[in-house]
Amino acid sequence: MAIFYPFRNVGVFIILSLWVLVSAICAWGRPATFVQDFRSTWSESHIKQIDQGRAIQLILDQNSGCGFASRRKYLFGRVSMKIKLIPGDSAGTVTAFYLNSDTETVRDELDFEFLGNRSGQPYTVQTNIYAHGKGGREQRVNLWFDPALDYHNYTIMWNHHHIVFSVDDFPIRVFKNNEDKGVPYPMMQPMGVYSTLWEADNWATRGGLEKINWSNAPFYAYYKDFDIEGCAVPGAANCASNLSNWWEGPTYQALNAIQNRRYKWVRLNHLIYNYCQDKSRFLVTPPECLPGN
């Protein structure tokens, strides 16, 4: 419900109205649609619009996978999509939803990668973070539901304080901004929103032991309810540094009590790999993995 208070000073009302308008222009927050806000990046013939354009279907067969990307890049904000993953035997496939700066040598990237499985095994979601060209921060969580039965919401929140990956409002990973401690954090480069469906049976399922069964092809993944709220680039020059953007507010600077409980539950019961604990890769614990970071 909107509440309006009368102003005796019409000039003040006009100034405040202009300030609200400028703030709205600064941060782009319209719900995204595929046709208006995304483009095919490869194999457009394998991307089908369904439900009168309100959803899309990605197709993987022996000829090709496919991918799409947002038409604009964004610096800080929140991105979410509802995705229904490949049902049945999806071993060797990867469905990805990620942000990418498209600057290879100094890449910033925030990844959701859904690793296919053999029928009856849990779907694994791998997250990774690249900052200033440094990656190798993989974590894997087994989903606690079948993500092929229905759509589920996958969200990346990115602000000056932290990056939060969430599944249906359950945080599964938090990466804090520890640049003051020498840990790279994506701060300067805008990123586009990407998604791909592709063959990766050399590593995706059980480290590449499980190969794609092409007799089950074609494979389908479905997307809907695209939502992008952030600072579009090009756009207002001061948007990304504007700490009054809603995603920079106190509510979003740290997990609340409910989110913390959910996060601890996920990490305790469903985390199956954490690079922070991989001594074969890191003889010295990465600084962002130290207690308190």
Residues with a catalytic annotation lie at 109, 113
Q: Distance (Å, rounded) from C-alpha 16 to C-alpha 149? A: 48
Q: What is the DSSP string of 170-215?
A: EEEEEEE--GGGT-----S--EEEEEEEEE-TTTTTGGGTSPP-GG
Question: In the 8-state DSSP scheme, what is residue 27?
Answer: S
> Which residue is it, tokens 């996060």?
263
The strand pairing partners of 61, in sequence order, are none
- The alpha-helical segments, DSSP class H, found in the chain are 10-26, 34-37, 257-269
Residue 36 and residue 226 in contact, taking contact as beta carbons nearer than 8 Å: no
Q: Tell me whether strands 170-176 and 93-100 are parallel, antiparallel or unpaired.
A: unpaired
